[in-house]
Amino acid sequence: MDSLISLSIAKNYGCFPSRIAICGDVRVLSGFQKPMVATKKTRTTIVNVASNMVDERRLVAWTSVRQERWEGELVVEGEIPKWLNGTYLRNGPGLWHLGDYGFRHLFDGYATLVRLNFHHGRLVMGHRQIESNAYKAAKKSNKLCYREFSEVPKHDNFLTYIGDLASLFSGASLTDNANTGVVKLADGRVVCLTETIKGSIVVDPDSLDTIEKFEYSDSWSGLIHSAHPIVTDTEFITLLPDLLNPGYMVVRMYPGTNERKVIGRVDCRGGPSPGWVHSFPVTEHYVIVPEMPLRYCAQNLLKAEPTPLYKFRWYPESKGFMHVMCKASGKIVASVEVPLFVTFHFINAYEEKDEDGRITGVIADCCEHNADTTILDNLRLQNLRSWSGEDVLPDARVGRFRIPLDGSKNGELFAALNPDEHGRGMDMCSINPNFLGKQYRYAYACGAQRPCNFPNTLTKIDLVDRKAKNWYDEGAVPSEPYFVARPGATKEDDGVVISMISDKNGEGYALILDGTTFEEIARAKFPYGLPYGLHGCWVPKN
């Protein structure tokens, strides 16, 4: 078996003949030069990456980034608030081509980190590829070397297939392509993440340099974790799915350490494996652990060609559950059956109290896809690039779970507002971070102006009035709207919303909306269109 593992690792590091280079000659433009879209002199850095394989004038959101890096000051139309000082970082898959080979799924692409630095009304943009081992190996060998979301390295013969399976079980062949999220830890470190634990990479928020792997110092085993940990000034909480003894370990890490300590464990109540936990919510006193009937599937994981649900399988007979764990004791205070659900992203959660201040239940909100799993296969790049104009985006809503803490066996799931308010599209959400785990009113997300095949609006959700305000630019694909609160603000929506837009003309721009009115206050055109990105974080100026 050791020889098989060694063979697989050799394969994964690209010890095979190459085909076509994915990177051109490196060319650095140093000194102070005129940026492509600004009138002021600034430093511009360019490294060519790949030739595009689709019409970027129409489909820049799904087209590989033009070059490995760029930096320059942008011309601002409108006025950026002077109080907005800091850096917005956005992570996401931005390179879907290896030579003449194109990846299949949105989630497969190699990570591209984009930086918007705001300083007294000025804006400097930069982007750079994250230098994971998966990216560097592919760049060197011109072929896929690690298992991505839907992609598996090609097996030359049965022996290499067996070796790949051995390296899969050890984790050696799993990707470290940190292309999903980026978080700022309380101690100042900035970490890019994906669902594999090895895909945790520390980056410099100013230069976007890849610094090092984020290595956990504890002895907890496992290969995967939630791609969206809960990060505050006092703690880092995440879930570790247990695929062998189906359940979830809930762990906490304190600032300045790399050691995860166990809060408690949740055993699954249904199905042969834990449900997918891309994200989860918390309240002031509790961690809410969702058990979705879309469950990890070992058989699908072992297949060389992807199934429509990729590494998962839909088990409606296993039912859906929500578990509530006390942060202090690790005890399960509620475990209820809920209607079947499908969600990638939870929005927020908070505790319900009676007139005497006693906690009677928990509310947890998410972007819920009406228990429809087809959204996963809709995100294949072929589907995104070949849209015919029909309305094919599956419906979604703000799904609200009500979990009683009185010992009841069942919880509720319903729409928190009429989904038509946001075009029956709902994903990629953010809130005012000061309201994390607390009762809140506003959420910002991507909605839909139909017909469409992908969320194409920005929407501000009012959960009290049950209304939505929507921003829409025909043909544009906006990324996650990220809310930044104004320093000293007392109102929940006093701040700005930042999003990056890939538009219909193959171009793109940074967009700043007023958090209260949801009207545009500024935009800044990019030198060229950037591909669609996923999640971001805010790094305030020290």
Structure confidence at residue 538 (pLDDT): 98
Alpha helices, DSSP H, located in 195-278:
none
Q: Among 539, 530, 537, which Cα is nearest to 112's?
A: 530
Structure confidence at residue 166 (pLDDT): 61
Task: Decide if pLDDT at 331 tops 70.
Answer: yes
User: If phi over 0 gives left and psi between -120 and 50 gives alpha, with beta otherwise, what is residue 177?
Assistant: beta
Q: How far is CA 359 from CA 5, 363, 413, in A?
A: 52, 11, 19
Task: Decide if pLDDT at 22 tops 50.
Answer: no
CA distance 155 to 99: 18
- Tell me the pTM: 0.89
CA distance 261 to 281: 19
Tokens standing for residue 253: 């890490």
pLDDT above 90 covers what percent of the chain?
Answer: 80
Structure confidence at residue 158 (pLDDT): 63
CA distance 263 to 57: 50
pLDDT band at 438 (very low <50, low <70, confident <90, very high): very high
51 is a domain residue: no
Task: Decide if pLDDT at 111 tops 60.
Answer: yes
Task: Decide if pLDDT at 541 tops 60.
Answer: yes
Residues whose CB is less than 8 angstroms from the CB of residue 346 and which lie 6 or more positions away in sequence, other chains included: 228, 279, 280, 281, 288, 290, 364, 365, 366, 367
The amino acid at 505: N
End-to-end CA distance of the chain: 52
531 is a domain residue: yes
Structure confidence at residue 312 (pLDDT): 95
43 is a domain residue: no
Provide the b/e sequence for 171-182 (b: ≥16 CB within 10 Å): ebbbbbbbbbbb
Structure confidence at residue 344 (pLDDT): 97
Mean pLDDT value across residues 116-128: 97
Task: Provide the 3-class DSSP secondary structure of residue 210.
Answer: strand
498 is a domain residue: yes
How many independent structural domains does the chain possess?
Answer: 1
Beta carbons of 178 and 200 less than 8 angstroms apart:
yes
Structure confidence at residue 160 (pLDDT): 64
Task: Decide if pLDDT at 295 tops 70.
Answer: yes
Task: Provide the 3-class DSSP secondary structure of residue 289.
Answer: strand
Who wins on pLDDT, 40 or 401? 401
Give the strands of the sheet with 427-430, arranged side by side: 427-430, 442-447, 457-462, 467-472
Structure confidence at residue 235 (pLDDT): 94
Structure confidence at residue 253 (pLDDT): 97
Neighbouring CB atoms inside 10 A of 311's CB total 22
Who wins on pLDDT, 542 or 433? 433
Task: Decide if pLDDT at 15 tops 90.
Answer: no
Structure confidence at residue 167 (pLDDT): 64
CA distance 7 to 12: 9
Q: How far is CA 524 from CA 14, 122, 348, in A?
A: 40, 10, 30
Structure confidence at residue 300 (pLDDT): 80
CA distance 161 to 150: 16
Tokens standing for residue 400: 């609200």
The amino acid at 290: P
Task: Decide if pLDDT at 221 tops 90.
Answer: no
The amino acid at 35: P
User: pLDDT averaged over the chain?
Assistant: 88
pLDDT in tens, 143-164: 899 989 998 887 666 666 666 6
The amino acid at 422: H
187 is a domain residue: yes
Task: Provide the 3-class DSSP secondary structure of residue 54.
Answer: coil
Tokens standing for residue 364: 């947890």
Structure confidence at residue 129 (pLDDT): 97
Q: What is the DSSP letter of 235?
A: -
Q: Do the strands 320-326 and 286-291 form a parallel or antiparallel pair, or are they unpaired?
A: antiparallel
CA distance 26 to 367: 42
Structure confidence at residue 101 (pLDDT): 84
Task: Decide if pLDDT at 354 tops 90.
Answer: yes
Mean pLDDT value across residues 303-310: 81
Neighbouring CB atoms inside 10 A of 86's CB total 17
CA distance 333 to 340: 21
Q: Among 463, 536, 526, which Cα is nearest to 498's?
A: 536
Torsion of CA 482, 191, 113, 109, to 10 degrees: -110
Q: What is the DSSP letter of 155?
A: P
Beta carbons of 445 and 497 less than 8 angstroms apart:
no
Structure confidence at residue 162 (pLDDT): 65
Q: How far is CA 490 from CA 216, 348, 432, 483, in A?
A: 38, 19, 11, 15
Who wins on pLDDT, 19 or 256? 256
pLDDT band at 17 (very low <50, low <70, confident <90, very high): very low
Binding-site entries for Fe cation? 228, 278, 345, 535
225 is a domain residue: yes
Q: How far is CA 67 from CA 113, 431, 493, in A?
A: 12, 32, 37
Structure confidence at residue 472 (pLDDT): 98
The enclosing domain of 157 has a CATH number of 2.130.10.10
CB-count exposure of residue 79 (10 Å: 0-12, 13-18, 19+): exposed
Beta carbons of 308 and 377 less than 8 angstroms apart:
yes
pLDDT band at 305 (very low <50, low <70, confident <90, very high): confident
pLDDT in tens, 477-530: 999 999 999 999 999 999 999 999 999 889 999 999 999 999 999 999 999 999
49 is a domain residue: no
Binding-site entries? 228, 278, 345, 535
Structure confidence at residue 184 (pLDDT): 98
Q: Which domain holds residue 178?
A: 60-540
pLDDT in tens, 163-212: 666 666 667 779 999 999 999 999 999 999 999 999 999 999 999 999 99
